[in-house]
Amino acid sequence: MSTTKKLKEARAKVDRSKSYPLTDGLELVKSAAFAKFDETVDVVVKLGVDPRHADQMVRGAVVLPNGLGKDVRVLVFAKGEKEREAREAGADFVGADDLVAKIQGGWFDFDTAIATPDMMGVVGKIGKLLGPRGLMPNPKVGTVTFDLARAVKESKSGKVEFRVEKAGIVHAPVGKVSFTAETLRQNIIALVEALQKAKPSAAKGTYMKKVCVSSTMGPGVSIDMTEIATILK
Supply the pLDDT for residue 208: 94
Q: Which domains does the chain have, with CATH numbers?
A: 15-67+159-232 (3.30.190.20), 74-156 (3.40.50.790)
Give Cβ neighbours of residue 94 (< 8 Å, ≥ 6 apart).
75, 76, 78, 83, 86, 87
Instruction: Map residue 208 onto helix, strand or coil.
Output: strand
**Amino acid at site 26:** L
Q: Are 69 and 176 in contact (CB under 8 A)?
A: yes
Supply the pLDDT for residue 143: 95
Tell me how long the chain is: 233
Q: Average pLDDT by consecutive 10-residue portion of the chain (233 residues)? A: 76 88 95 92 96 92 92 95 96 96 96 96 95 92 94 92 92 96 96 95 92 94 93 84
Q: Are 105 and 99 in contact (CB under 8 A)?
A: no
Q: From CA 165, how far away is CA 153, in angstroms rounded?
A: 27
Q: From CA 179, how far away is CA 223, in angstroms rounded?
A: 18
- pTM of structure: 0.85
Supply the pLDDT for residue 2: 67
Supply the pLDDT for residue 148: 96
Residue of 103, 86, 106, 105 lying closest to 94 (CA atoms) = 86
Q: From CA 223, how far away is CA 168, in angstroms rounded?
A: 18
